Structure formats: structure tokens, C-alpha cells
């Protein structure tokens, strides 16, 4: 039986960032990924936004890791010449009644350490974005965009440089704690395998609740059961109608249908948010829903052609009517699983936070496991 010091299950942006960090100081780091290539699931089906941290409650992991991750990702992009842009973001109050919400976001952002936020009046917004018609806006200059694939290539290259091994087409189907080590069963390129690892990091995204259940955790009792919340995108054809990211004030499970320019300058609308029971990346929403939402703050959209683009699925701990849920990043030692680290519910801002999550997991490993 092969043996690993650390086995990371899942090679999305989070598993790769964790692998890059843990392999700096540790030999024998294996990443097990069921698909043919890394990053084929949520990490390549998202908006590519580097969030600034205004959307999450004070002291939550989402807030802390987002603010830190934004800085770390931008520094990494600068250092390794990974394309990114700090375009800035406007969160807009379309009606007077929404101004209170902007004020709450400003306060929350400041509580979380986002220091560069600024209110803009109607005319100031119009100067920056002539096609946007709103009462007031909150400007977040540090919000940016990045190409998720490029970021993943970077984390993968770092992990490889440190001798971490990525096993693709390798699906984990069983996990047992045997005398303080973990036996991991699965199928690799059509063949059954078992490896043993001292430490396991569960970075399995949409499958992370299943991995937690495999090792014997009661996911319902612990509140680890994931809900799948889908988001569709459309793309605005032709000339980009905005230069910055433009978001309405958030309502419901997502951040509201917003406008996101990509690095090529083209603009996407979305994602919306609706709960689903199956994983499918087909766009299921209507063009009408998107137009109606966006025309509330950008009437120009009525004259523009929009095309079906793509979709992504959020691994949400929060069910349809539940209050805020934070990321779960937890060493499960007190549940009889010394050396098993769970990462569950890593929805947005998981892309932004990825390098900070890598550091956070590495701190847990060094302080609690590798003593």
C-alpha cells in the first residue's frame, strides 16, 4: 500500500492552494482528483472576481480570509505576472430605500478591514459609468478580476516545484481511520487503489460533505450537508457597457445579477441563484429574467443583445431560508479524527480567499498536527 504524509482530496483552486502551501515544508504531499484535469468544477465556473470583503459578517472566516486573500492574490499576480486587474466595483442603490443597505455594507466592509470604500452620488456614478442610472453607489476600488485557470496553473506549478504529486482520474470512494492513520480507497484510471495517509485534507468542493460522511462524521447532525445553489451567466454582445463591476445591493442567496467585465473586456451578467438537486452546467434561466433585473440600473440593456454564457454551482451550507453560514475549516481531532481537516461550504469568496485558506490550513497543520 502506498503511503503519504498528507493526502489532499480535490484539486480545485482551494486544494491546489493548500497543496502549494503545505508542500513548502513537507515531503510526500498527494492531491487526489477525480477528473482528468484539475479545476474542472466550481473553480472554473465562477465570476473570477477578487472580492474586497464587504459582504461577510465581522470576524467570520469568509471576511478574514477574503480580505487577506485579496491582498495575497494581487501580490502573487504582480510577482508571477498572472493577468489580473483591480477594476473597482460599484454596489448601487437603485432606489432611495436601498441607501440604508449601502450604509450597512460600508460599515461591514470597514469592520472587516476594507479601508478604501467610498460613497458616490448619482452624478459621480454617471461620470464613471455613463450607462448606470442609480441614486447612490458604494465604490470598492480594491475589487478586481483574475483568470481562475491562470491562478490554478500557478498554485499547481508551485506545488509541483515542491514535489507534491497530483493524481488525476483518481476518485476517493472510501475513507477509514485506522489506528491514527487514514486508509483511502478509490479508483485511479480504472484501477482500484488504497493509500494510507497520516493527514487528510478534505477539499472536495461539492463532494466535501460526502467525504466527511465517508470518514464517519454525521453530516446532518453537524450541519455539514451541502445544498447546491446554481448561478447562470449571460454575456452582453458587442461593446462593453461598463468598465467596472456593477452590483445591485444583495438580496437572497446570491449577490444579485451583476455586471462583470472579464480580462478581455467583454461583460457578463450574473450569476443568479437558485437551488438545484443535480449537477449540470447548462444555463436554465431565461434571458428575460436577466434583462429585467439589469434594466433596473442599466436601461441600455434593453437595446443590447445578450447571449447564453455558462453556469456554476455553489457548495452552500446555507439552505434556501437559512441565515448566513460561514466556511467550515476545521481539524476534527475532538471528534476522534486527529489529522483530518475538513473544508466544507467553500463557496464565494473561495477563489479570492484560496491562498489565505492555504495559509490557514498550514497553520492548523503545523500547530495542531505536526507537533
Residues that bind ligand FAD (CB under 6 A): 9-15, 32-35, 40-43, 45-49, 51, 171-172, 203-207, 231, 271, 312-314, 346-352
Calpha distance 258→343 (Å, rounded):
28
Nearest distance from C-beta of residue 120 to ligand FAD, angstroms: 22
Determine the residue with CB nearest ligand FAD: 350
| Dihedral angle, C-alpha 66, 67, 70, 72, nearest 10 ° | -110
In the bound state with ligand FAD, the residue whose beta carbon lies nearer, of 67 and 203, is 203
Cβ neighbours, 10 Å, residue 335:
16
Nearest distance from C-beta of residue 122 to ligand FAD, angstroms: 27
Strands 191-202, 267-270: pairing is unpaired
Calpha distance 94→246 (Å, rounded):
12
Can you give the length of the chain in residues? 371
Instruction: Assign 347 to helix, strand or coil.
Output: coil
Nearest distance from C-beta of residue 48 to ligand FAD, angstroms: 6
Select from 313, 315, 342, 312 the least CA-distant residue to 227.
Answer: 315
In the bound state with ligand FAD, the residue whose beta carbon lies nearer, of 40 and 124, is 40
Nearest distance from C-beta of residue 121 to ligand FAD, angstroms: 27
In the bound state with ligand FAD, the residue whose beta carbon lies nearer, of 205 and 261, is 205
Given its phi and psi angles, is residue 100 left (phi above 0), alpha (psi -120 to 50 degrees) or beta?
alpha
Select from 49, 31, 59, 84 the least CA-distant residue to 255.
Answer: 49
In the bound state with ligand FAD, the residue whose beta carbon lies nearer, of 11 and 92, is 11
In degrees and rounded to multiples of 5, residue 283 shows phi and psi of: -75, 125
Nearest distance from C-beta of residue 135 to ligand FAD, angstroms: 25
In the bound state with ligand FAD, the residue whose beta carbon lies nearer, of 214 and 236, is 214
Nearest distance from C-beta of residue 222 to ligand FAD, angstroms: 18
Select from 24, 6, 22 the least CA-distant residue to 362.
Answer: 22
In the bound state with ligand FAD, the residue whose beta carbon lies nearer, of 73 and 136, is 73
In the bound state with ligand FAD, the residue whose beta carbon lies nearer, of 48 and 88, is 48
* Residue 44, C-beta contacts closer than 8 angstroms, at least 6 positions apart: 148, 149, 152
Nearest distance from C-beta of residue 97 to ligand FAD, angstroms: 27
Amino acid at each position: 500500500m502506498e503511503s503519504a504524509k498528507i493526502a489532499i482530496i480535490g484539486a480545485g483552486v482551494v486544494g491546489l492552494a493548500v497543496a502549494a502551501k503545505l508542500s513548502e515544508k513537507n515531503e510526500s504531499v498527494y492531491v487526489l482528483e477525480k477528473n482528468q484535469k484539475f479545476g474542472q468544477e466550481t473553480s472554473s465556473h465562477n465570476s473570477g472576481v477578487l472580492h474586497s470583503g464587504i459582504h461577510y459578517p465581522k470576524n467570520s472566516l469568509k471576511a478574514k480570509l477574503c480580505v487577506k486573500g485579496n491582498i495575497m492574490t494581487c501580490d502573487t499576480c504582480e510577482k508571477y505576472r498572472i493577468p489580473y486587474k483591480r477594476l473597482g466595483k460599484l454596489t448601487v442603490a437603485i432606489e432611495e430605500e436601498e441607501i440604508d443597505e449601502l450604509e450597512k455594507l460600508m460599515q461591514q466592509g470597514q469592520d472587516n478591514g476594507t479601508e478604501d470604500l467610498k460613497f458616490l452620488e448619482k452624478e459621480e456614478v454617471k461620470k464613471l459609468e455613463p450607462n448606470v442610472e442609480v441614486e447612490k453607489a458604494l465604490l470598492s476600488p480594491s475589487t478586481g478580476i483574475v483568470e481562475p485557470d491562470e491562478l490554478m496553473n500557478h498554485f499547481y506549478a508551485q506545488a509541483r516545484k515542491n514535489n507534491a504529486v497530483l493524481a488525476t482520474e483518481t476518485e476517493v470512494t472510501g475513507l477509514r481511520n485506522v489506528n491514527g492513520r487514514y486508509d483511502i480507497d478509490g479508483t485511479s484510471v480504472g484501477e482500484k487503489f488504497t493509500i494510507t495517509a497520516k493527514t487528510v485534507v478534505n477539499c472536495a468542493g461539492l463532494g466535501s460533505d460526502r467525504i466527511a460522511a465517508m470518514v464517519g462524521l454525521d453530516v446532518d447532525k453537524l450541519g455539514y450537508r451541502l445544498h447546491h445553489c446554481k448561478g447562470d451567466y449571460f454575456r452582453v454582445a458587442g461593446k462593453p457597457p461598463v468598465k467596472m463591476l456593477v452590483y445591485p445591493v444583495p438580496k437572497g442567496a446570491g449577490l444579485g445579477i451583476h455586471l462583470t467585465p472579464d480580462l478581455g473586456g467583454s461583460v457578463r451578467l450574473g450569476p443568479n441563484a437558485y437551488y438545484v438537486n443535480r449537477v449540470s452546467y447548462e444555463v436554465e434561466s431565461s434571458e428575460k429574467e436577466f434583462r429585467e433585473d439589469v434594466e433596473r440600473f442599466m436601461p441600455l440593456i434593453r437595446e443590447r443583445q445578450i447571449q447564453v454564457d455558462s453556469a456554476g454551482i455553489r457548495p452552500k451550507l446555507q439552505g434556501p431560508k437559512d441565515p448566513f453560514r460561514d466556511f467550515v475549516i476545521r481539524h476534527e481531532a475532538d471528534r476522534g479524527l486527529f489529522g483530518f481537516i475538513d473544508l466544507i461550504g467553500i463557496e464565494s469568496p473561495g477563489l479570492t480567499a484560496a491562498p489565505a485558506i492555504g495559509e490557514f490550513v498550514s497553520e492548523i497543520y503545523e500547530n495542531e498536527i505536526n507537533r
